[in-house]
Amino acid sequence: MTHIAYLSMGSNIGDTKDNLTKGIAKLISHPEISLEEQSSDYRTSPVGGVKQDDFLNLAVKITTSLTPYELLAYIHQVEAALHRKRLIHWGPRTLDIDIVFFDDRVSEDPDLTLPHPEVWNRLFVLVPIQEIMSADFHYYHRVNQRIDELQQTEQSIERIGNSHE
């Protein structure tokens, strides 16, 4: 069975553009993952209270025959291949990939919560996804509503170009 997943990707260490490009290439090198859409690049302020550089973020829409847990395991391999170190919660990283939505699944499993537990609090996740989601997407209206609400906060996000230019 083919599933649709929306992934959020970010980097704020080293050559962030290159980290994201390599991350996408490694991700879609898996025979059971296909890239359907890729958002523009966005420069975003960090959240979570850890002092660090701004992030370069984007979102991708993929199709996959993997289960959510198989996809998560592969994402961890991709992050490790790009030298991701999990030292500080919400800290700086070479590459961060999160499964934001997997079809319309809802899961409260602490190992894989779906939708992603912080999605509704983060412009840097919602805005790139909004760019690539279709109007028939299960969470379409909620994504748009939440972006309107979050734009009143101190989170900053700036579109800086198309990732696949």
Q: Catalytic site residue 96?
A: yes
Query: Cβ–Cβ contacts within 10 Å for residue 118, how many?
Result: 15
> One of 96, 103, 136, 142 is an active-site residue; which one?
96
Sign of the Cα pseudo-torsion (156, 77, 63, 114, in order): negative
Annotated active-site residue in 98, 103, 104, 111: 98
Q: Judge whether 109 counts as a catalytic residue.
A: no
Nearest to 102 by CA among 64, 130, 132: 64
Catalytic residue flag (residue 122): no
Task: Give the C-alpha distances (Å, rounded to integers) separating 76 from 8, 51, 79.
Answer: 13, 24, 5
Choice among 18, 41, 43, 84 that is catalytic: 84
Catalytic residue among 93, 109, 136, 146: 93
Catalytic annotation present for 93:
yes
Catalytic sites, residue numbers: 84, 93, 96, 98
